[in-house]
Structure 1
Amino acid sequence: MPEVTISIGSRQFEVACQEGEESYLHAAAKMLDDEAQVLSDQVGRMPEARMLLMAGLLLADKTASFEDQLGEVRKELAEREAELEKLRNTVVEPERIEVPVVPQAVTDGLAEMAARAESLAQEVEDKAAS
């Protein structure tokens, strides 16, 4: 198990951690050291145990605030997902387009005109061939 030296509040500590977790330990120690530095700047020198306790409480307060914010974001996300699911389940009726029916008399008239045109075309072909 690796031993890591961390610095918190200008004091050195030897801490053991799991293999591969050294970078996480250094990051956590840096956060704690930053809080201890704020305390040291405001209050001055204080006993080690008190400094660690106060720095830990400040971090815990920040963590609680972030957890509250995360809870609100998760709630809003759940609401948006529910709205999206509702939209996905909404059946959209296709637009109905009505085409008027062509009266039979018009259809018959067009058929008669087509027959006449074919008859005239045949006559022209016959005259051209002779």
Structure 2
Amino acid sequence: MAEVDFSIGHKAYTLACQEGEERLLKRAAGLLDAEAQVILEQAGRMPEPRLLLLSGLMLADRTSGLEDRVATLERELARLKSNPQRVEVPVVPESLSEAMAELAARAEALAQKAEDQSAD
């Protein structure tokens, strides 16, 4: 088993975990410590059990909010998948394309004629 050292608030901890889970444990401890630091900045020093409880509750509240947002977004995604909006892509009619090509050819011919006249 691997051991991970971390601190939460004002106390250092060492916790054993399965090989390969060290990064996850450090990340989780970092999240808990961030909440603990906010609480300590606002309330000052407090007993370890109370700090851990408040930090855990703050994280639980944040997680609950994120779960609500995910559920809302999943419902919206399901709605969009089941009832996609019709998207129309404008297509240039072939007759218009032909007319534009003819105009471009005329413009090139006029430009060539003007060049030829100015060269004389």
Structure 2 length-normalised TM: 0.69
| Structure 1 runs not aligned, ≥5 long | 88-130
Number of the residue aligned with 1:83: 83
Say which is worse superposed, 46-55 or 78-87, in terms of deviation. Answer: 78-87
User: CA RMSD, aligned part only?
Assistant: 1.7
Q: Which residue of 2 aligns with 1:9?
A: 9
One-letter code aligned to 1:58: M
Work out the CA distance in 2 between the residues paired with 1:43 and 1:57. Answer: 16
Aligned residue for 1:59? 59
SS of match in other structure, 2:84:
helix
- Rg bigger for which structure? 1
So what's the TM-score if we normalise by structure 1? 0.64
Aligned-partner Cα distance in 2 for 1:68–1:5 = 33
Alpha-carbon shift at residue 8 of structure 1 (Å): 0.4
The number of residues matched between the two structures is 87
Letter of the 1:39 partner, please give it: I
The amino acid across from 1:8 in the alignment is: I
Question: For 2:9 and 2:56, how far apart are their aligned partners in 1?
Answer: 12
User: Which consecutive residues of structure 2, in runs of 5 or more, have no partner in the other structure?
Assistant: 88-120
For 1:117, the equivalent position in structure 2 comes to none
Note the C-alpha offset of 1:80: 0.3
Distance (Å, rounded) in 2 between the aligned partners of 1:54 and 1:86: 49
Is 1:28 matched up with 2:28? Answer: yes
Spell out structure 1 runs of 4+ moving beyond 2 A.
Answer: 84-87
Separation in 2 of the partners of 1:25 and 1:65?
22
Q: Give the drift of 1:6.
A: 1.0
Residue-by-residue CA offset, 1:50-70 (whole Å, 9 max, x unaligned): 000000000000000000000
Structure 1 residues 35-114: aligned runs within 5 Å: 35-84=35-84
Cα deviations across residues 60-111 of structure 1 (Å, max 9, x unaligned)?
0000000000000000000000013999xxxxxxxxxxxxxxxxxxxxxxxx
**Aligned partners of 2:69 and 2:51: how far apart in 1?**
27
